[in-house]
Amino acid sequence: MDFAFGAEDEAFRAAAREWLEGHPWGEGGRAWERELGAGGWIGLGWEAEGYGNRRATLTQQVVWAEEYARVGAPGRVGHIGEKLLAPTLLAYGDEAQKNRFLPAIARGEELWCQGYSEPGAGSDLAGLRTRAERDGNVYRVSGQKIWTSLARDADWCFVLARTEAGSRRHHGLSFLLVPMDQPGRIEVRPIRQMTGTSEFNEVFFDGAEASDVVGREGDGWRVAMGLLAVERGVSTLVQQIGFEAELGRVLRLAVDSGVVADPVLKDALVRQWAELRVMRWNALRTLSSPDAGAPSVAKLLWGRWHQRLGELAMRVRGAAGATGLGEWAPGAYELDDLQHMFLFSRADTIYGGSDEIQRNIIAERVLGLPKGSS
């Protein structure tokens, strides 16, 4: 099962390939986002144009993702604004919010982070305690968010907060847009992980001001669920292309080192390849005929698959997998790509909604089982 690429799609592929090969990206980051924006390559999947983005069909979005991965372009730092906030604003935002925020995202000029998870309410989003009190024309936000990706570099954060005093669970929540440059009112603390890096952060709000609420006050749960619904589709295929590149490195290492002669290891590598193909076919199927449980099924599949790949990489490396690239010192060590993948992938079944939460969603919303039955 695969997409059929027509003449227009192949012309789009040629244009994308020419542009990517002609624009060196260095280390990525903000400069690369602005370069993408200048080329009109941000916002391909938006349901509207006119904000500095170009439109692209679903097939063409897949083409762009394939070409982006093929040349080894860097990981995006603007994807939260482009892939999560922008579709949410198009669905729930007013015209002033669309005109203010979408062009800046499309130009690659403003970066966003997501203020959802909290201590004690990570996967249980409805249990959040961050509050926002109206003060004239603004809301003052107080509370703590955790596991906030890219918070150190973000210009803005979309925050789900409780705006109705005494409300419980999914009632009384609002979806607020909070500028991050508020010294004394917002503090970002990096969380150092076992990889030695700090992709995740804690964010503390102490009366931080927010003047924009998406949708109506108290309608935050509906908006938040709408945002979570777009965390699928082409982005899943992009992720799988990256997985394919990682698997390729592991396979080449196994062949070059000769350990592929081990029949047990060979069987595990072949199974890993076959499962990746099945995930791709399933992603393509759900793009053309989406269903309510597709995002949760995809998350369950790729989370454990990626963890197994990291484990396989270390099996292929053998004892060398336990040694770093340079001199080790407490609090400072360097990992190669496969070691980093192995350690970071331990979080794959937790972030973005833990496996337990995904099973609950499938049980309750797809199979119609009573709560707690999964």
Share of the chain above pLDDT 90, in %: 41
> For residues 60 and 44, is the Cβ–Cβ distance under 8 A?
yes
3 state SS for 179-203: ECCCCCCEEEEECCCCCCCCCCEEE
**Has residue 110 got a pLDDT over 80?**
yes
Q: How confident is the model at residue 289 (pLDDT cuts 50, 70, 90)?
A: low
Task: Answer yes or no: is pLDDT of 90 > 70.
Answer: yes
pLDDT at 323 over 90: no
230 pLDDT above the threshold of 70? no
pLDDT tens digits, one per residue of 123-137: 677 778 899 999 888
Q: Which two tokens stand for residue 202?
A: 């804690």
Q: Is the pLDDT of residue 374 over 50?
A: no
**Rounded Cα distance, 193 and 199, in Å:** 8
> What is the percent of the chain where pLDDT is above 70?
91
> What residues are annotated to the active site?
231
pLDDT of residue 354: 80
Q: Is the pLDDT of residue 176 over 90?
A: yes
Of 360, 250, 263, the closest CA to residue 312 belongs to: 250
- pTM over cut 0.85: no
Q: Select the more confidently predicted residue: 308 or 354.
A: 308
Structure tokens at 34: 């602005």
Burial class (CB in 10 A: 0-12, 13-18, 19+), 218: middle
* Pick from 103, 200, 106, 94: nearest CA to 153: 200
Confidence label for 315 from pLDDT (cuts 50, 70 and 90): very high
| 327 pLDDT above the threshold of 90 | no
Q: Which amino acid is at 268?
A: A
Decide if pLDDT at 189 tops 80: yes
For residue 373, the model assigns a pLDDT of: 47
